[in-house]
Structure 1
Amino acid sequence: MKMHLTYLLSFCMIIFFLQACNQHHAGIGKMNNAYTCPMPSDSFFSDKPGKCPKCGMQLIPNPNNINQLSNNSINRSKKFTCPMHPQIVSDTMGNCPICSMPLEPLKPDSLKGTVSLNALLKPVNHQVVANVPMIHLMPRTENISLDVLGYVQYNTDYLYSIVSNVSGRIDKLYINSPFQKISVGSKVAEIYSPELVTAQQNLLQLLASDADNSSLIQMARQKLLLMGMSQRQLQYVEQTRTALLHVTLYSNYDGTVLLNDESMNVSDGKNSINNYNNTTDVLPIKEGMYVMKGTTLFKVFNPAKTWAILNLYDSDVPLVKKGDKVVFSAETNTQTAITSSVHLIEPYYNVTSKTTSLRVLFDNTQYKIPIGALVKATIYTGNRTAQWLPKEAVLTLGMNNVVFVRSGEVFMARKVKTGIVYKNLIQIIDGLSTHEAVAADAQYLVDSESFIQLKS
């Protein structure tokens, strides 16, 4: 009996001692928990470094206090960034120095979640795990202007032909060189035509033998006029009763003489300028040559009515429309700015220069810009309000355009419909909403052997 009482008393004393130790450790932890034992089972805390009285291990700083300090420091050091240019980071609010957009608060790295094993095991051609800057769609109004190059060309609406109305021999030529200026009524050439001499003799025969047959006489006169004789020449023949051996060809236009070279009328800047430079002073039409009826001897263009042919790259064509304002200057007078508008966008693509041409009509009377002179122009297409992303955020996959959308722990490839491209921006028409974040640079998420597979 005494032995049992002794064992029971010893057991109660052991229990009382253990409870006292636990209360002691808990009291110390409540007073200050700056340091703790690395063994979680000991649950020992202290306000200064030392050793754990339970296991004898060296105490370490409490990680809960470190996290709290880091969270407080993050809150005190709030950063701001540009939604379109993530590389811009500032300690204060303001505007982006690149695009002048308002800066937004930068989310701290501590708010980023960890990536689960399930996300890491997904196929890499469906989604990508990465830590890259992100941006959002931004509604924005852009005042679009395009800087383009071009040259001055003939306006074919004011390009005329001097044609021989009869077949015969050129006995006298009044045009001495290309680019000679002529006016209405200027002599071009004198042509001997047996056909024309015969028609005059027929008229004279009718006047002599059948003067009362007014209808036949009138038909003979009309034939001579259609063959190129002037009214004054016809009156001379009737008065003198003598047939003229030569008919004088006159100009009906004011302008500058061009050679009859169809290649000079091609609206191709490279070919046209080469033709201007290779033009010599030798005329292909010479005295003594025979010409057929309907032959074009020369062409005449009005230098006061000209075009500025501007070349657009295919990405700029959708931005331009007929009537847009154009301001340009020629290399011969860079100090003079000429204002006009888009007159015509040519409906074909130049494979050689990889451009589409547009025509700007202007009056060259005052400026006197020579044909073939190079010009620098700015086309003002007006304001465009749209949803924009940087071009780097959109990846082109042949017929599809793709962005990488943040979805939980990963980036998912998604097809989007794009619109116009202006400078470093691309318009997003469909496939993305403003609250969704995308990778700022899609190229960072693709390697050289990747094949992006889009979900249907």
Structure 2
Amino acid sequence: MTNSPNPQDNGPVNNSPAAEPSTPGPRLGAARRLLLVGKVIEVRLRFIAVVLGVGLFIGYWETVKNYWDKWTRPAAVAQRQLGPDQEFFCPMHPSVVRETYEPNGDVPKCPICGMPLSIRKKGEKEPLPPGITGRVQLTPERIQLAGVQTVAVEYRPLVKQTTTVGYVTYDESRLSRVVSRVSGYVEKLYIDKTFAAVRAGDPLAEIYSPELYSAAQELMVAAQYSGGRELAAAAREKLRLLGVSPEEIEQIERQRKPAVRLVLRSPQAGWVIEKKIVVGSSVQPGMTLLEVADLTSVWVEAAVFEKDVEFLQVGQRVEATVEAYPGRVFAGRVDLIYPVLEASTRTNRVRFVLDNPQAELRPGMYATVRIDTPLETLPAIRQAIQKRPQIVQVSAGGEHPQPGVLSVPERAVVDTGAKQIVYVERQPGVFEGVEVQLGPRVAFREDGRTVDYYPVLAGLQPGDRVAAAGAFLIDAETRLNPAAASSYFGASGGPQSGARPAPSGPSGPRPETPKREEPSAEALQRVAELPEPDRRLALRQKYCPVTGKPLGSMGVPVKVVLRGNQAVFLCCRGCVGKARLHPDETLKKVGELVAEAPGVAPHAGHAGQGEAASPITADRQR
């Protein structure tokens, strides 16, 4: 018999689900958590693996790339390689040198100009252009250690200052001598001492002369006869030749009283610097009695060194000072350059004429004379300026010729005795030794200090940057490393380069012509600031032939006249030197730019097919 549960013993019966026996839920929740943790760890490990893989790929990119090129390179070009004594180089940029082909077998290109490199033998010397004595390339570190500094070749108002010392003397053209024309005796002296001031016509002395009495008597006798007109005229002429004035002759005829005394008068204003007679002195015809000098103008006799003669020109203005009047400057001019050189002193005498209205300069004084000679007035430099293409400054007001003389600092010149060399920085770190022709060295005041400059007659162009400091170190580097001067600065594979052209197949890649930048509104506005004729020419040219940049992008275009009368517009003054260095190439490029301009077809002013367009002819406004 089954005993049923006693409700009283076990309490009330709970029929809710919570009272049902529990399931194994807690054990299943732990499994899920373990599974979730495993998945998280897996994801993180995958992320770390991906990061490590990317890092290794980046770190070994060059190795991977080399292997890829090796595996994918065609077998035919894999055999292309240079000989052990050959190398690639860029004739336009000597610093670019490569020893192998590109990984794909192509001829390497210059990273600067994009042209294929040429092949040469290692250490082979290439002929340099005429006038170039050497070329050297220096790293920025060596340039800094050597203290090399470059300056631009510019126009400067150079003036040669010549100083000399001379003595003041009389102006011979203002000296007068009082000479007796009759014989007699001095009865009276109106000026009885030397250095007395006189005016023109003042009486100086009175002479008793029987000869004068006889001539006056002849005039009176001739005047008494009605037919003695010719005799009277002859008597008057005789008195005039004896020194009698016309007024005194008329007085003799009017008073009918012969004169026995002759009054000598001063021929000019000045000072009596010499007196050779006293009262009672006997005089004879032709005897010098007194001497009168006009000191309103005096001479300075000086001497200059032989090397300074070329700086003097007759009529040139000068300034003089004397110790008697400190701070006073007397103006004058060069009157005569003596045609004889003093052999013992190697000096040349020079005569200066100084204005002396107050008679402050006295004969016998020492005077310091300064002559300032602008170098552009010298004949040799004038010829050099005429030969050099003219550079003009263009502004809204028109054309203004560049003033001064093209000059280079003295410290930039390496003088070997036989020639003078200046090192020009053609590219950053690349210096070329250029043989130049220079004029005389002169001092120039610049930034509060005096710097010596040479005028450039030939060899340099405006805008060239030359090594002013460290030029001797660059010259020493060129002589110690002759191979550094072997690269020819010319066209790749050109006839003058002496280099063999780089091998390339007919299907080899060619550099693409870059798309030109269109002028901005601001650039066109700057072009509009030019005068009307220049504005039309600049708009036809549109681009700078040196940099290829639009005209006006770097300021108002700079106008340069090449080959006589052919105008070229450049984007900035920095391009002037390059344009003048290669004028034919610049003009050819300008012709191409004009031919490429929209709406400009080849005609009489431009070349036809197969020829470069002719350059623009300047509309010169004088």
TM-score by length of 1: 0.51
1:357 lines up with 2:350 in the alignment: yes
Matched, 1:429 2:457: yes
- Measure how far apart 1:233 and its partner are: 3.4
Q: Separation in 2 of the partners of 1:297 and 1:415?
A: 67
Q: Which of 321, 339, 342 is residue 333 of structure 2 equivalent to?
A: 342
Task: Note the alpha carbon deviations across 1:344-399, whole angstroms, 9 max, x for none.
Answer: 3424355257144252442x2346332333333444434741233528946596xx
Q: Secondary structure of 1:348's match?
A: strand
- Structure 1 equivalent of residue 289 of structure 2: 297
Contact 1:257 1:300 in 2 (8 A): yes
Match of 1:376 in 2: 368
Aligned partner of 1:230 among 232, 245, 254:
245
Helix, strand or coil at the partner of 2:233: helix
Q: 1:234 to 1:315 in 2, by over 3 A?
A: same
Matched, 1:184 2:200: yes
CA drift of 1:324 comes to 5.0
SS of the equivalent of 2:368 reads strand
Higher strand share: 1
Rounded to whole Å, the distance in 2 between the matches of 1:343 and 1:159 is 20
Q: Determine if contact 2:334/2:350 at 8 Å carries over to the other structure.
A: no
Verify the 8 A CA contact 1:309 1:360 in the aligned structure 2.
Answer: no
Residue 126 of structure 2 corresponds to none
- Matched-pair contact (CA < 8 Å) for 1:135–1:440: no
Equivalence for 1:402: 419
SS in 1 for 2:212: helix
For 1:159, which of 141, 162, 175 is the aligned residue?
A: 175
Following TM superposition, by how much is the alpha carbon of 1:253 offset from its aligned partner in structure 2, in angstroms?
A: 1.3
Please report how far the alpha carbon of residue 301 of structure 1 lies from its aligned counterpart in structure 2 after TM superposition: 1.9
Aligned residue in 1 for 2:113 = none
- 1:199-218 → structure 2 map (5 Å cutoff): 199-208=215-224, 210-218=225-233
Q: Once the 2 structures are TM-superposed, how far is the Cα of residue 320 of structure 1 from its aligned partner?
A: 4.4
How many Å apart are 1:199 and its aligned residue? 1.5
Distance in 2 (alpha carbons) for counterparts of 1:391 and 1:211: 93
What is the one-letter code of the residue matched to 1:365? P
Task: Map 1:226-305 to 2 at 5 A.
Answer: 226-239=241-254, 241-259=256-274, 283-305=275-297
CA distance in 1, matches of 2:293, 2:456: 47
The superposition leaves residues 179-213 of structure 1 with CA deviations (integer Å, 9 ceiling, x where unpaired) of 221122322223343432321222233234x2442
Provide the C-alpha distance between the structure 2 equivalents of 1:156 and 1:163, rounded to a whole number of angstroms: 17
The 2-side partners of 1:370 and 1:391 are apart by 45
Deviation at 1:428, TM superposition (A): 4.0
The 3 A distance-change label for structure 1 pair 175 and 231 is same
For 2:204 and 2:416, the matched residues in 1 are separated by 61
The one-letter code of the counterpart of 2:228 is N
- 1:131-142 to 2 correspondences below 5 Å: 138-142=153-157
- Separation in 1 of the partners of 2:368 and 2:302? 9
How far is 1:224 from its partner?
Answer: 0.7
- 2:178 maps to amino acid: I
- Separation of aligned partners in 2, 1:360 and 1:143: 25
Out of 295, 305, 310, the residue aligned to residue 313 of structure 1 is 305
Contact kept, 8 Å, 2:334 with 2:351, in 1: the verdict is yes
Structure 1 residues 162 and 205 mapped into 2: Cα distance closer, same or farther (>3 Å)?
Answer: same
SS at match of 1:153: strand
Distance change in 2, residues 1:144/1:243 (3 Å): same
Residue 269 of structure 1 is matched in structure 2 by none
CA distance in 2, matches of 1:221, 1:169: 23
Distance 1:324 1:109, change over 3 A: same
Amino acid in structure 1 at the alignment position of 2:440: I
Decide whether aligned partners of structure 1 residues 389 and 292 sit closer, same or farther in structure 2, where only a CA change above 3 A counts.
Answer: farther
Q: Residue type matched to 2:455 in 1?
A: Q
The answer on whether the counterparts of 2:301 and 2:349 sit within 8 Å (CA) in structure 1 is no
Partner in structure 2 of residue 197 of structure 1: 213
1:69-128 Cα offsets, whole Å, 9 max, x none, are xxxxxxxxxxxxxxxxxxxxxxxxxxxxxxxxxxxx99544999xxxxxxxxxxxxxxxx
Structure 2: distance between partners of 1:356 and 1:366: 27
Higher relative contact order (CA 8 A, sep 6+): 1
- Say whether the 8 Å CA contact 1:173–1:190 is kept in structure 2: yes
Deviation at 1:228, TM superposition (A): 0.9
- 1:312-369 per-residue CA deviation (whole Å, 9 max, x = no partner) reads 434334334456554443321113334x35353424355257144252442x234633
Aligned to 2:590: none
Task: Figure out how many residues of one structure are paired with residues of the other and give that number.
Answer: 293
Aligned 8 A contact 2:412 2:422 in 1: no
How far apart, CA to CA, are the structure 1 residues paired with 2:222 and 2:467? 96
Secondary structure in 1 aligned to 2:339? coil
Return the letter of the residue paired with 1:218: A
State the Cα distance separating 1:256 from its structure 2 match.
Answer: 0.8
CA distance in 1, matches of 2:169, 2:414: 39
SS of equivalent to 1:166: coil
- 1:107–1:323 CA distance, 2 compared to 1 (3 A): farther
Q: CA offset at residue 309 of structure 1?
A: 5.2
Please give the alpha-carbon distance, in whole angstroms, between the structure 1 residues aligned to 2:287 and 2:177. 10
The one-letter amino acid paired with 2:168 is V
Q: Is the 8 A contact 2:413 2:422 kept in 1?
A: no
Given that 2:423 and 2:433 are in contact with CA atoms closer than 8 Å, whether structure 1 keeps it comes out as: no
| SS of 1:420 mapped into structure 2 | coil
Query: Could you tell me how far apart the structure 2 residues matched to 1:232 and 1:141 are?
Result: 65
SS at match of 1:190: strand
SS at match of 1:243: coil
Distance change >3 Å, CA 385–CA 361, structure 1 → 2: same
Q: Is the 8 A contact 1:160 1:253 kept in 2?
A: yes
**What CA distance in whole angstroms lies between the structure 2 residues aligned with 1:254 and 1:320?**
33
Partners of 1:212 and 1:441 lie apart in 2 by: 99
Residue-by-residue CA offset, 1:158-190 (whole Å, 9 max, x unaligned): 322322233444444444333221122322223
- Distance of aligned partners of 1:236 and 1:406 in 2 relative to their CA distance in 1, 3 Å threshold: closer
Find the aligned partners of 1:396 and 1:295 in 2 and give their Cα distance.
Answer: 66
Q: Distance in 2 between matches of 1:370 and 1:312?
A: 22
Counterpart of 1:316 in 2: which secondary structure? Answer: helix
- Report the 3-state secondary structure (helix = DSSP H, G, I; strand = E; otherwise coil) of the residue aligned with 2:329: strand
Matches of 2:161 and 2:181 in 1, distance apart?
49
Of 321, 326, 329, which aligns to 2:321? 329
Judging changes above 3 Å, is the alpha-carbon distance between structure 1 residues 213 and 367 closer, same or farther for their aligned structure 2 residues? closer
DSSP-derived class of the 1:333 partner? coil
Give unmatched runs, 5+ long, in structure 1.
1-104, 113-130, 260-282, 446-456
TM-score of the superposed pair, with normalisation by structure 2 = 0.39
Asked whether the 8 Å contact 1:151–1:308 carries over to 2, the reply is yes
Q: Is the 8 A contact 1:402 1:413 kept in 2?
A: no
**Residue identity opposite 1:305 in structure 2:** S
Could you tell me which residue of structure 1 aligns to residue 440 of structure 2? 420
The answer to whether structure 1 residue 144 and structure 2 residue 135 are counterparts is no
1:385 aligns with 2:385: no
Paired residue type of 1:230: S
Counterpart of 1:387 in 2: which secondary structure? strand
